[in-house]
Amino acid sequence: MSGPNTEYDPVEVTPLKADEVEAMRDAAIAAISAAPDLEALKTVRLEHVGDRSPLALANREIGALPPQARKDAGQRVGQARGAVNKALAERQVQLEAEHEERMLVEETVDVTLPTDRVRRGSRHPITLQSELVADIFVAMGWEIAEGPVVEAEWLNFDALNLGPDHPARTMQDTFWTEPADHHVVLRTQTSPVQARTMLTRKPPIYVACPGRVFRTDEYDATHSPMFHQVEGLVVDEGITMAHLKGSLDHLASQLFGDGIDTRFRPSYFPFTEPSAEVDVRCFVCRGIDSASCRTCRGEGWIEWGGCGVVNPRVLVACGIDPDTYSGFAFGMGIDRSFMFRHTLEDLRPLFEGDVRFSSAFGSEI
């Protein structure tokens, strides 16, 4: 609190002098706008707004004035200080913005530099193709069934109407395990999974069985001792070849594009009868002007797999009443489907593990 104001002549007191207050104000504002950076502004603040600044000192003197003079002086000094503070705040914002802008410019980097500190991983295209196929079936309400790769001979052959003396056994060159009288093979097809499914579940059965299979084929551009198949099996009441055709047309259109359908040609498989080869319409030329098409080699169609109506003998061996239920089955190569879907002419890259091959497909196909 100020003491009695006896020492000062009110007229002599600075706040009362309008021109001096204005000069203080103007000096402060000039200094503020002249401050080149935030550091300088800090000094200016001390000089012109700080406790020892002329305006602060003037303000302090107001209390010593006689009451009748206080109002005027207070207003004058208050306005001056307000103007200075405003200028200071504005300059502060301005300088901060300038500073930030400069800093950001200075911190600019070359964003075209490589960023591959850690190499990308990828999944194998056959895994991806298998999953893609599985997803199509799952979307149809089917389930995905699986079984062992090293399989009982009975399940790989006999249960599928391939008796020990069936000529068709020579169609599939089988890897046998030792001792031979244990009747254990590397499955030559994923059909034993179908048999297992029928043996353990009651119709209606709607399953697809993707998996690896084995044949004693020498390894070359079009043969591999191990490859991948997907088979489908439906056992229900009133199932016909029309349902088979519908399912395969759907799979074809999902895998190869809208409007891609299939055609059947009579064939022979012990597991099914009637049996058919299924060709898929060439998804490149669509059967129009096929002559120069490299994908289907001018055929308009691509051999895709085999299919047919489940042989009643198979139903019987698997405990399903052929008088009540009928079914269809089909199978095709996953590798083969992948090969023509992605125009790969030699299958060996699929099994040679060159990281450049898998990497080319990333994690989705």
Partner 1 sequence: MKTPLSWITEYVDVPDHVTTDELTARLTLTGLKLEGIASPGAEITGPLVVGRVLTMEPEPQKNGKTINWCTVDVADANGSGEPQGIVCGAHNFAPGDLVVVVLPGGVLPGGFEISARKTYGHVSSGMICSAAELGLGDDHDGIIVLPADAGEPGQDVRPLLGLDEEIIEFEINPDRAYALSLRGIAREVLVSVEGASGFRDPALRETPPANDAGHPVVVEDEAGCPVFVARKITGFDPSAPTPEVIAQRLTAAGMRPISLAVDVTNYVMLETGRPIHGYDADLLQGPIVVRRAREGETLTTLDGTARTLSAEDLVVTDDSGIIGLGGVMGGQTTEMSATTTSVLVEAAHWDATSMFRTGRRHRITSEAGKRNERGVDATICEAAADRVVELLTTYGGGQVDPGVTVVGTPPSMPTITVAGDRAARVSGLDISEERAVAALRAVGCEVSGTGTLEVVPPPWRPDLTDPQDTTEEVIRLVGYDTIPSVLPQAPGGRGLTRTQLLRRRIGRTMAGAGFVEVVTFPFVGDADLDALGLPGDDPRRTTLRLSNPLSSEAPGMTTTLLPALLRTAGRNVGLGATSLAIFEAAPVTVPRASGPAPILPVDRRPTDAELDALDKALPDQPLHLGLVAAGEHEQAGWWGPGRTVTWADAVDAVRTVAGALGLELATRPATTAPWHPGRCAALLLGDVVVGHAGELHPRVCTAFGLPPRSVAAEVDLEVLLQHAVHLRPAPSFSGYPVAKEDVALVVDETVAAADVEAALREGAGELLESIRLFDVYTGEQVGPGKKSLAFALRFRAPDRTLKEGESAAARDAAVRVAGERTGAVQR
Which residues, numbered 77-136, are part of the site for partner 1 (CB under 8 A)?
A: 113-114, 116-124, 126-127, 131, 134
From the CB of 24, what's the least distance to partner 1, in Å? 49
Q: Is residue 71 involved in binding partner 1 (CB under 8 A)?
A: no
Residue choice 309, 329, 332, 339 for contact with partner 1 (CB under 8 A)? 309
Question: Would you give the binding string for partner 1 spanning residues 210-229, x where CB under 8 A is met?
Answer: --x---x-xx-----xx---
Site for partner 1 in 314-333 (CB under 8 A): 316-319, 326
Residue 118 φ/ψ, nearest 5 degrees: -110, 130
CB-based contact 269:309 (threshold 8 Å): no
Task: Give CA–CA dist 239/202, Å, rounded.
Answer: 15
Residue 201 is a binding residue for partner 1 (CB under 8 A): no
- The Cα–Cα gap between 289 and 287 comes to 6
Which stretch, 24-32, 38-46, 97-105, 267-275, contacts partner 1 (CB under 8 A)?
Answer: 267-275
Whose Cβ is closer to partner 1: residue 58's or residue 239's? Answer: 239
Nearest one of 272, 221, 278 to 247, comparing CA atoms: 278
Asked if 154 touches partner 1 (CB under 8 A), the answer is yes
Q: Omega into 270 within 30° of 0, i.e. cis?
A: no
**Neighbouring residues of 30: CB distance < 8 A, sequence distance ≥ 6:** none
Q: Judged by CB under 8 A, which of 88, 155, 233, 282 binds partner 1?
A: 155
Rule CB under 8 A: is residue 149 a binding residue for partner 1? yes
**From CA 318, how far away is CA 191, in angstroms rounded?**
12
Tokens of 64: 């010593």
3-state SS assignment for residue 1: coil
Range 26-65, binding partner 1 (CB under 8 A):
none
Min. distance of Cβ 233 from partner 1 in angstroms?
12
The region of 20-28, 34-42, 59-67, 146-154 touching partner 1 under the rule CB under 8 A is 146-154
Rounded CA gap, 261 and 252, in Å?
6
Instruction: State whether residue 185 is helix, strand or coil.
Output: strand
Q: Is 202 in the site for partner 1 (CB under 8 A)?
A: no
Q: How far is the CB of 280 from partner 1 (least distance, A)?
A: 13
